[in-house]
Structure 1
Amino acid sequence: MNTSTTPSARKPSSWTVLLLALLFIVPFGLAWYYYQSKDVREFKLVNHGELIRPARDIKNIALVDPSNEAQFLGSELKGSWWIWYVSPNRCQQECHDNLYNIKQMITALGKDSERVSTLFVSLPDCQVQACENYVLEHYPTMKQAHMDSKAFNTFFDGVTEQLDRERVGEIYISDPRGFVMMRYSGEINHQYILKDLKRLLKVSQIG
């Protein structure tokens, strides 16, 4: 009996080999592409704020303590998470609401509240005295600072939204390494900021 096989039976066709290769290679190729993509962090973190890229290094920015007009560097804020509230032109009802909501967020963090500090930054053209007096009276534990126009515009260039900045203010998050990395409009529901902050604190090994 003839037990020999035909060439086609002994070896799969080139189309079969190609199809099998594609089935194994393509998924790995796509996974590698997404991993290397500049948007990879957005695949890993579903956030409600605007991720600032590149994050802004705060270590060398010049800030002024309004209580004594002493200058200090942003490097003094390293080691902790910070919620920054950059005030609107006038600290009226929207400003008051945001300050209150930020305080509520800290309370809602529970045991993690000690990891987060708050900072009020008045705009260079804000009614500074009125803003500072209100914050000092109602939120005495909130750190205050102001910046001159040049330093402010240099640091926030390309990040700040003028309409939010002037009307309702803006909220930023800086990390313990000393980088401002997330931005929110002052009109955002503060529960969204709280969700982002809880997620950041959960995955962070620092601060």
Structure 2
Amino acid sequence: MNSQPKRSNKTLIILLVVFVLPVALAKLVLSLDLYHGGATNKGALLNTELTYSALNMVNPKPHLWQMVYLLPEKCGEQCMDRLYVINQSHIALGRDRDRVSPIILLQNNSDLDALKQLHIQFETAPSNAQIAALLTQQQMIIIDPLGSLVMQYDGVSGREASIAQGKSMIADLRKMLKLSRVG
């Protein structure tokens, strides 16, 4: 008798496990929301519809990146730290400093004495009520050369926290400047 040995389904099962199991596991992880993609930015990205024109405000420095801060009515310690960090961050940009302009937005009731105390010449621009309503918690905003509000850094307490946030802002700005084709 000529009998052929039974073929094992072992090879087929191994192939299915090797190719199908990873796909099934990936689908399971994604559907259960167990994977959170890594983000390299340290600030919070803003809605793409937020622009100077949408906020009915004239771009104070078109064609330049901007670090924007709204000077409050009373500039306390947190505000002074913010102004210091904006100035130091601008200096720390080095050769890219010419592509970025720190701008302090002013309202009618802004504390102008704070700017005089620091002895730093900041670019200033008048703000309107719409952008002032956006910046009520002493946030710093990065604005691209086209006038879009790109990234926000919430207010923090303490000089060390402000300096750490300034370093984060510099890192984010350097990435954006490197990838930018405008400004």
TM over 0.5, yes or no? yes
**1:66 paired residue number:** none
Q: Is 1:135 matched up with 2:88?
A: no
Could you tell me which of 166, 171, 176 is aligned with 1:200? 176
Instruction: Kindly tell me the number of residue pairs found equivalent between the two proteins.
Output: 173
**2:159 paired residue number:** none
3-state DSSP class of the match of 1:56?
Answer: coil
Map of 1:1-207 to 2, 5 A cutoff?
2=2, 4-6=4-6, 8-9=7-8, 15-23=13-21, 25-26=23-24, 43=38, 45-54=39-48, 56-63=50-57, 73-74=58-59, 77-122=61-106, 124=107, 127-128=109-110, 130-131=111-112, 134-135=114-115, 138-147=119-128, 149-150=129-130, 152-153=132-133, 156=134, 160=135, 162=136, 165=137, 169-187=138-156, 188-189=162-163, 190-207=166-183
What is the CA–CA distance in structure 1 between the aligned matches of 2:95 and 2:102, rounded to whole Å?
A: 16
Residues 55 and 181 of structure 1 are in contact (CA less than 8 Å); yes or no, is this contact kept in structure 2?
Answer: no
Question: Displacement of 1:25 after TM fit?
Answer: 3.4
Identity rate, percent: 23
What is the CA–CA distance in structure 2 between the aligned matches of 1:177 and 1:27, rounded to whole Å?
A: 43
Q: Report the TM-score, using the length of structure 1 for normalisation.
A: 0.64
For structure 1, list consecutive stretches of 5 or more residues without a partner in the other structure.
64-72
Question: Displacement of 1:14 after TM fit?
Answer: 6.0
3-state DSSP class of the match of 2:50?
Answer: strand
Residues 104 and 122 of structure 2 are in contact (CA less than 8 Å); yes or no, is this contact kept in structure 1?
Answer: no
Question: Displacement of 1:136 after TM fit?
Answer: 6.9
CA RMSD of aligned residues (A): 3.6
What is the CA–CA distance in structure 2 between the aligned matches of 1:205 and 1:27, rounded to whole Å?
A: 40
Q: Report the TM-score, using the length of structure 2 for normalisation.
A: 0.71
For structure 2, list consecutive stretches of 5 or more residues without a partner in the other structure.
157-161
Letter in 2 for 1:135: L
What is the CA–CA distance in structure 2 between the aligned matches of 1:192 and 1:16, rounded to whole Å?
A: 48
What is the CA–CA distance in structure 1 between the aligned matches of 2:116 and 2:102, rounded to whole Å?
A: 13
- The structure with the largest helix share of the pair is 1
Structure 1 ranges of 4+ moved more than 6 A? none
- The structure with the largest strand share of the pair is 1
